[in-house]
Structure 1
Amino acid sequence: MDSFSSYTRLSRLSVKVILTQTDTTVGFLSQDDKKLQEVKSRKPSKAFIKVYKNFKTLLASGHRIPDKYKNSVRRSKKTTFIVKNKAFRVADTSLDSQILRDKLWHYSTSANESGKNFDRDFCIEKADIIVENKDGLNENSSSSLYILNHTKRKKIR
């Protein structure tokens, strides 16, 4: 892990894996899904959730949401949706971090080894950047998960 007193020095890290408290639980964030697969020792066939900064960014990225669910997706909190085999969530960062505010989206996954519980030592070893506030990192419940299509909404978790 690299420690910096200034955000401008982060440019030397080519692929950043960020460990932070997300809107739901402790998570790894990155714009490189292959780096996250490597960190978590996860099968390449299992996709990651893409977390968008706001609803406008989600729509601009090309996601097509069925009209009857647009309002519920826009107003959702701590909820992940799957549309046409693409998982996404809209979540504004609760931390006052320039690193997280600068990006419009990140791939997101829980901060643990695949199939295991949160282990702070493992996470600190694997993360390039740690964003933490005074409350620390807390493992909470994961987001609700829904599959949407034009006719129905099905709750997965």
Structure 2
Amino acid sequence: MDAKFIYLTQSDTTAGLLSADPFRLNQIKGRQPYKPILAEVDCYETLKKFTRVPVLFRNRVRRSQKTTFIYPNHQSFRVVKDESHLMFLRKFSIMYSSSANKTGSVFDIQEAIKMCDIIVIDSRGIFAGIPSKIFKINKIKIKKIR
């Protein structure tokens, strides 16, 4: 498996496109090349390599499920806890993730297949689910974004 490919897979929340290259994901989705994109990590230890979690929110980040946090360094990460998706993600430790639809449109499986290089299907199949909750945190405050 090569991390530079774009994978279509069922993530812990919804059908998603995953890649190690955030610029390629933005290009395929028709977004600005430098638009921030969330990263999925396989464990809390991997998260600590990329950002520092404020002391006030460490417990919340560790216990949260299907939740993305935007950290003080303006990077966003989600620690995946769903075993089905985690089996795939452990091969890479970290992957950039985006929903499998063009920006501003609804999920269409045919469009998603055209956008990806490799399709990864597990027992759940591929479907549009509920997107993750997003919170922005700094040293002392938390704000719900979605």
Please give the TM-score of this superposition, normalised by the length of structure 1. 0.85
Matched, 1:19 2:8: yes
Aligned length: 145
Counterpart in the other structure of 2:123: 134
SS in 1 for 2:111: helix
Q: Post-superposition shift, 1:98?
A: 6.1
SS in 2 for 1:130: strand
Q: Contact conserved, 1:49 with 1:89, CA < 8 A, in 2?
A: yes
SS in 2 for 1:60: helix
CA distance in 2, matches of 1:138, 1:43: 26
CA distance in 1, matches of 2:127, 2:116: 16
CA distance in 2, matches of 1:32, 1:150: 29
- Report the residue type matching 1:22 in the other structure: S
Q: Which runs of 5+ in 1 are unaligned?
A: 1-9
Matched, 1:95 2:79: no
The one of 30, 33, 36 equivalent to 1:41 is 30
Matched, 1:58 2:47: yes
Q: Contact conserved, 1:53 with 1:93, CA < 8 A, in 2?
A: no
What percent identity do the matched residue pairs reach?
38
CA distance in 1, matches of 2:35, 2:5: 20
Q: Contact conserved, 1:93 with 1:101, CA < 8 A, in 2?
A: no
CA distance in 2, matches of 1:112, 1:127: 11
Q: Which runs of 5+ in 2 are unaligned?
A: none
CA distance in 2, matches of 1:96, 1:147: 24
Counterpart in the other structure of 1:4: none
Tell which deviates more after alignment, 111-120 or 131-140: 131-140
Please give the TM-score of this superposition, normalised by the length of structure 2. 0.91
Q: Post-superposition shift, 1:35?
A: 1.1
Would the alpha carbon gap of residues 30 and 118 (structure 1) be closer, same or farther in structure 2, given more than 3 Å must change?
same
Larger radius of gyration: 1
Q: Contact conserved, 2:41 with 2:94, CA < 8 A, in 1?
A: yes
Matched, 1:116 2:105: yes
CA distance in 1, matches of 2:70, 2:58: 13
SS in 2 for 1:102: coil
Counterpart in the other structure of 1:71: 59
CA distance in 2, matches of 1:20, 1:142: 14
